[in-house]
């Protein structure tokens, strides 16, 4: 077989494989600033942002200690759910029409989510609390 044809085919296969990789995060953003009960949880946290139809998901890479937020961006932008898993010592949830309260401002990849979530802190896990939160995500 012609070595030039083999080389050309190899380059085309490599280029095709690169084109089939996972899509980038929606609009390429990667960080979120988070406060719980008005206290900073540290430097901006790395996040993954993805969009499927009208649903946006913003989440930290490590769900063992992190957060996730689901937003509807249809006619109006609304918060569906926010879950904290041992994030800055807090574990708790907001679920629309069920637990806590939340609202969101922004669209197109920059969102500010504020609200309250029911849960507990690691230093006193048997004490149920309602904590306030603010998430400023740059997706």
* 133 occurs within a structural domain: yes
**Lowest-pLDDT range, 16-20, 70-74, 115-119?**
16-20
Q: 33 lies in a domain?
A: yes
* pLDDT for 17: 37
| Cα 95 to Cα 79: distance, rounded to the nearest angstrom | 8
Contact between residue 117 and residue 92 where contact means Cβ atoms under 8 Å apart: yes
Report yes or no: 29 and 46 within 8 Å, Cβ to Cβ: no
> Which pLDDT band, with edges at 50, 70 and 90, does 26 fall under?
very low
Question: What domain range includes position 52?
Answer: 23-138
> Does 122 fall in a domain?
yes
Q: pTM of the full predicted structure?
A: 0.78
Are the CB atoms for 114 and 134 separated by under 8 Å?
yes
Count structural domains, the chain.
1
Which tokens is 66 given?
A: 């992190």
Whether residue 117 is contained in a domain is answered as: yes
The C-alpha atoms of residue 17 and residue 102 are separated, in whole angstroms, by: 42
């Amino acid at each position: 077989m012609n070595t030039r044809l083999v080389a050309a085919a190899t380059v085309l296969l490599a280029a095709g494989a690169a084109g089939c990789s996972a899509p980038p995060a929606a609009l390429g953003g990667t960080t979120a600033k988070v406060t719980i009960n008005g206290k900073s949880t540290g430097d901006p946290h790395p996040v993954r942002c993805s969009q499927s139809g009208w649903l946006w998901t913003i989440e930290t890479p490590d769900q063992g200690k992190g957060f996730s937020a689901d937003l509807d961006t249809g006619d109006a932008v609304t918060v569906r759910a926010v879950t904290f898993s041992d994030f800055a010592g807090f574990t708790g949830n907001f679920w629309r029409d069920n637990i806590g309260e939340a609202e969101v401002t922004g669209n197109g990849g920059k969102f500010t989510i504020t609200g309250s979530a029911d849960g507990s802190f690691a230093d006193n896990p048997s004490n149920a609390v309602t904590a306030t939160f603010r998430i400023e995500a740059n997706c």
